[in-house]
Amino acid sequence: MCGICCSVSFSVECSREGLKEDLLHNLKRRGPDSGKQLFKSAVSYQCLFSGHVLHLRGALTTQPVEDERGDVFLWNGEIFGGVKIETEQNDTQIMFKYLSSCKSEADILTLFSEVQGPWSFIYYQASSHHLWFGRDFFGRRSLLWQFGNLGKSLCISSVGTQTLGETKQWQEVPAAGIFRIDLESAASSRCVILNFYPWTHISEENVAEERVDVLTQVSAGLPTFVSIVMNEFKLYLAKPVVPLNMTLPQAPLETHCRKISNVPPTRETLEVFLTDGHMKRIVHQFIDVLSIAVERRVLYLLRDKNLPPDEVLKACNKKANVAILFSGGIDSMVITALADRHIPLDEPIDLLNVAFLMKDKTLPARLNSRREQKDGCEMPSEEFPENACAVHGDSRADAVPDRITGRAGLKELQAINPSRVWNFVEINVSLEELQKLRSTHIRHLVQPLDTVLDDSIGCAVWFASRGIGCLATPDGAKSYQSSAKVILTGIGADEQLAGYSRHRVRFQMLGLEALSEEIAMELGRISSRNLGRDDRVIGDHGKEARFPFLDENVVSFLNSLPIWEKANLTLPRGIGEKLILRLAAVELGLTASALLPKRAMQFGSRIAKLENNKEKASDKCGRLQVISLENLSFEKETKL
- State yes or no: cis peptide before 240, omega within 30 of 0: no
The helix/strand/coil state of 531 is helix
DSSP state of 34: E
Residue 324 belongs to what H/E stretch? Answer: strand 322-325
Handedness of CA 389, 390, 394, 395 (dihedral sign): positive
β-partners of residue 75 are 121
In this structure, the strands spanning 371-372 and 322-325 are unpaired
Contacts of 557 (CB under 8 A, 6+ apart): 285, 286, 289
| Burial profile 134-166: b = 16 or more Cβ within 10 angstroms, e = fewer | bbbbbbbbbbbbbbbeebbbbbbbbbbbbeeee
Answer whether 76's CB lies under 8 Å from 121's CB.
Answer: yes
Query: What are the CA-CA distances from residue 236 to residues 133, 199, 202 (Å)?
Result: 14, 6, 9
Between helices 330-342 and 277-299, what is the axis angle to 10°? 70
Alpha carbon distance 94, 84 (integer Å): 9
Alpha carbon distance 72, 36 (integer Å): 12
> Measured at the alpha carbon of residue 311, what is the angle toward residues 310 and 316, in degrees to the nearest 5?
125
DSSP state of 628: -
Alpha carbon distance 437, 78 (integer Å): 30
CB atoms near residue 304 (< 10 Å): 11
Catalytic residue numbers read: 2
Alpha carbon distance 148, 155 (integer Å): 8
Answer whether 197's CB lies under 8 Å from 237's CB.
Answer: yes
Alpha carbon distance 375, 444 (integer Å): 10
β-partners of residue 73 are 65, 123
DSSP state of 150: G
Task: Return the closest-CA partner of residue 326 out of 413, 441, 432.
Answer: 413
Answer whether 437's CB lies under 8 Å from 363's CB.
Answer: no
Answer whether 130's CB lies under 8 Å from 114's CB.
Answer: no
Burial of residue 102 (CB within 10 Å: 0-12, 13-18, 19+) is: middle
Alpha carbon distance 522, 187 (integer Å): 38
Residue 428 belongs to what H/E stretch? Answer: strand 422-429
| Residue 312, phi then psi, degrees to nearest 5 | -60, -35
Q: Which amino acid is at 584?
A: A
Answer whether 26's CB lies under 8 Å from 3's CB.
Answer: yes
DSSP state of 386: T
Answer whether 602's CB lies under 8 Å from 291's CB.
Answer: no
Residue 46 belongs to what H/E stretch? Answer: strand 46-53
